[in-house]
Structure 1
Amino acid sequence: MSTVRIAAAAAHFGRNLDFDVARIGKLIDDARSQGAGLLVLPDAALGGYLADLRHPDPDALPPALKPDDPIIFEVARLAAEMTVCFGYCEADGDIRYNAAVCVNGDGVLGRHRKVHLPAGEVAAYTPGNSFDAFDTPVGRVGMLIDYDKTFPESARSLALDGAEILACLSAWPASITNRAPRMAQDRQARLFDLYDQSRAAENQVVLASSNQTGAMGGMRFLGKSKVVGPGGDILARTFGKAGLAVAGIEVAAEIERARRVLRHLGELRFDAYRSSP
C-alpha cells in the first residue's frame, strides 16, 4: 500500500487577500518539497479570522467570498497535483458562513460550512447543517472547522460516511477568559490537543489539524498543528511555532491495523443512545 505524506500548517493570515494567497503559495511549495500529497491550511486562510470573538465589529469582518470566487480557483491552480484544504468566509447573498474548501488542480473536491458556532461567531456567521465526506486522490476526507471538533458527533458523522482522514482547520486562540502565564498551562491549548487525539482515536482515523499563529485583535492563536494516527498518537507537530507538521502514513493499512480487533464504528449501539437531549 502506498504512503501518503500529510502536512498540517501553522501560519498567520490576515485581511490582505494578496498576502494570504502568496503565503498559501509558499506553504504549498514547502509542503510539495517535502513530498506532501495533502496540505491542510488553517481556518480563515483567506481573509483572516474575527478580530474580536466576544463582540465582533460588523464593519471589520473578514472579506466574504462567493463559492466560485476566482481566488479559490487560483489556490486550486497553485495546488496542482496536491490536495489542499483551506478556510475562508463564504458569502451566500447577505448570509455569511465560516467555510472550508478542498481543492486540487482539477477544481473543488469538497466543501464544509462550520456547524457549531461559539458565542461570538453567532453574531457574524450562519451555521452550516451537515457533515459530508468526499473522495480525493489521497483518500476519503472529511473537514471540521474549529469548534466542530469539540463535539464527538461531528467527527463520528464523517467517519460513518467513510472518511479515512479528518482535516481539522482552526483559528483556535489561547483562553480569552482565563489567561495563563505560559502557553503550556493554557486551558484551550490543552483542549486543542485533547480533541485532536480523541477524535482520531475514537474513530480510528487519521487526523490533520492546522491552526493559525500570531495575533488578531486581542486573541493569540495557538499554532500546535499536528498529524495524528488512528491510535491517537501524534506523528508530527509544530508546537506553537509557524511551520508544517509533516508525516508519512499508509492510511488504509494503519486504519485496518487499528481496527483489527476493536472496530469502534462497527460496534456502535445506536439503539442504546439518546437521539436528542
Structure 2
Amino acid sequence: MAIVTIAVVSDSFGRDLDACMRTVARHVETARAGGAQLLALPEAALGGYLRELTSDADPGPFGSAPLLDPDGPEIARLVDLAGDMVVCIGYSERAGHHRYNSAICVGGGEVLGRHRKVHLPLGETAAYDAGDQFRAFDTPIGRIGMLVCYDKAFPESARSLALAGAEIIVCLSAWPMSRTHPSDNLAEDRWRYRFDVYDEVRALENQVVWVSANQVGQFGSLTFVGNSKIVHANGNVLAFTGDNPGMAMARVDVEDALHVTRRSMNHLRDRRPEAYDIQCLLAGEPTIRQPFARVPKARTG
C-alpha cells in the first residue's frame, strides 16, 4: 500500500479507563469516517500519565496510572475498536513485577507491535522500569516503528528503527510545558519548541514519515503542549492539531516520500560507520530494507 491516510490525535486522558476507552472509540470512528488507515493516539492514553514529574505516589483513582496486562481485556477491546485500522496507543503495562510506559499497535484483529519506553526522564524512574530495545514491525500499511516521548530526544532511537526498515515512525507523547520557566503563550514555550524541532529533525535525518501524537491540557501539575503532527520524510509538517484537542489528517504516498528524499542524498546509505567513535555506533549494521536501496525510478518528459 503506497498512499496512506494518517490521523493523529491531541487530547486529554485521565485515570478513568472507561472514559479513556470512550474517547478512543470516538477518535477511531472520526478517523475511520475520514478514511484513515493509521491512527496515532498519545502516550498513556489508557489511564493517563503521571500527575507530576517528581513522583506519582498519591493513592486513589486520581493517583497512580492503572497497570494493564499487555494481553488483557483492555487491549482486546482496543483490538475490537480498531477493526481493520492500524491504531497506535500508549498505556502503563504490568509485566510480572515490572512496570513499563508502553506503546502498542493493533490492527486487523491482532497486536502488530509493542514498545516499552527506553529513556525515562526524571520522575518516571520512580514509576516505571526502562525498556531495552527498539523494533520495527510489519503492518498492512507498511513497516512501522514506535517511540514513546523522551525516546525521540535521542537520535539513536529513531535511527535504530530506520536501520531496521521502518518507513513510518510513530512517537506517542505526554510532553509538557517547561516546568521551570513556562511561557504565558503555549506556542512560544521552550519545551514546546523542543517537541516540534525533534519531530521535524528526526523525520528529516532518517528520511521517514513521522507521526507524533501528544496529550494536551492539564493533568496534575503538568500542562501538555499538544501540537500532534504528521511530518513528511523531507521534514515538512503536513498537518498538525495546534494547541487544542483535535485530530490532524494527511494522505501520504509513503513509498514515494522515501524514494524522493533518498534518491540522491540517502542518509542511511551514506553513513560511514568506520569513521564514527565506537560509542556512537548502533549494535550491528543491518541491511537496509527495500525500498530504501532500490534503483531510482526512470523519469520521463
TM-score strictly above 0.5:
yes
Matched, 1:122 2:125: yes
The aligned counterpart of 2:234 is 231
- Check whether the contact 2:43–2:172 (CA below 8 A) recurs between aligned residues: yes
Provide the rounded CA distance (Å) in 1 between the counterparts of 2:86 and 2:260: 25
Provide the rounded CA distance (Å) in 2 between the counterparts of 1:245 and 1:273: 39
Which one-letter code corresponds to 2:88 in the other structure?
A: C
Matched, 1:141 2:137: no
Provide the rounded CA distance (Å) in 2 between the counterparts of 1:204 and 1:2: 16
Structural mapping, 1:259-270, within 5 Å: 259-270=262-273
SS at match of 1:65: coil
Residue 94 of structure 1 and its aligned partner are, at CA, apart by 2.2
Residue 66 of structure 1 and its aligned partner are, at CA, apart by 1.1
Provide the rounded CA distance (Å) in 1 between the counterparts of 2:74 and 2:38: 20
- Listed one character per residue, the Cα deviations across residues 181-209 of structure 1 (whole Å, up to 9, x for unaligned) are 21122111000000000000000000010
The aligned counterpart of 1:190 is 193
Query: Larger deviation: 51-60 or 25-34?
Result: 51-60
Matched, 1:154 2:157: yes
Provide the rounded CA distance (Å) in 1 between the counterparts of 2:159 and 2:6: 21
SS at match of 2:21: helix
Residue 245 of structure 1 and its aligned partner are, at CA, apart by 1.1
Which one-letter code corresponds to 2:259 in the other structure?
A: E
Max Rg structure: 2
Matched, 1:40 2:43: no
- Check whether the contact 2:55–2:127 (CA below 8 A) recurs between aligned residues: no
The aligned counterpart of 1:97 is 100
- Listed one character per residue, the Cα deviations across residues 230-263 of structure 1 (whole Å, up to 9, x for unaligned) are 0000000001111111000110111101001000
Residue 58 of structure 1 and its aligned partner are, at CA, apart by 5.7
Matched, 1:181 2:196: no
Provide the rounded CA distance (Å) in 1 between the counterparts of 2:214 and 2:2: 27
Provide the rounded CA distance (Å) in 2 between the counterparts of 1:148 and 1:47: 20
Residue 276 of structure 1 and its aligned partner are, at CA, apart by 2.4
Structural mapping, 1:66-77, within 5 Å: 66-77=69-80
Provide the rounded CA distance (Å) in 1 between the counterparts of 2:173 and 2:76: 21
Number of equivalenced pairs:
277
Matched, 1:12 2:12: yes
Which one-letter code corresponds to 2:25 in the other structure?
A: G
Q: Structure 2: any 5+ residue segments left out of the alignment?
A: 281-301
Provide the rounded CA distance (Å) in 2 between the counterparts of 1:199 and 1:68: 31
- Check whether the contact 2:2–2:256 (CA below 8 A) recurs between aligned residues: no
Provide the rounded CA distance (Å) in 2 between the counterparts of 1:89 and 1:241: 24
Provide the rounded CA distance (Å) in 1 between the counterparts of 2:277 and 2:55: 35
- Check whether the contact 1:205–1:229 (CA below 8 A) recurs between aligned residues: yes
The percent of aligned pairs where both chains have the same amino acid is 50
Over 6 Å off, 4+ runs: none
- Check whether the contact 2:187–2:243 (CA below 8 A) recurs between aligned residues: no
Matched, 1:221 2:224: yes
- Listed one character per residue, the Cα deviations across residues 77-122 of structure 1 (whole Å, up to 9, x for unaligned) are 1100100000000001221000000001321000000000001101
Provide the rounded CA distance (Å) in 1 between the counterparts of 2:250 and 2:187: 23
Which one-letter code corresponds to 2:212 in the other structure?
A: S
The aligned counterpart of 1:54 is 54
Provide the rounded CA distance (Å) in 2 between the counterparts of 1:203 and 1:75: 30
Which one-letter code corresponds to 1:261 in the other structure?
A: S
Matched, 1:211 2:211: no
The aligned counterpart of 1:25 is 25
- Check whether the contact 2:145–2:170 (CA below 8 A) recurs between aligned residues: yes
Q: What TM-score do you get using the length of structure 2 for normalisation?
A: 0.90
- Check whether the contact 2:102–2:115 (CA below 8 A) recurs between aligned residues: yes
SS at match of 2:65: coil
Provide the rounded CA distance (Å) in 2 between the counterparts of 1:30 and 1:81: 14
Matched, 1:79 2:82: yes
Matched, 1:131 2:122: no
Provide the rounded CA distance (Å) in 1 between the counterparts of 2:115 and 2:55: 25
Which one-letter code corresponds to 2:18 in the other structure?
A: D
SS at match of 2:123: helix
Residue 275 of structure 1 and its aligned partner are, at CA, apart by 2.9
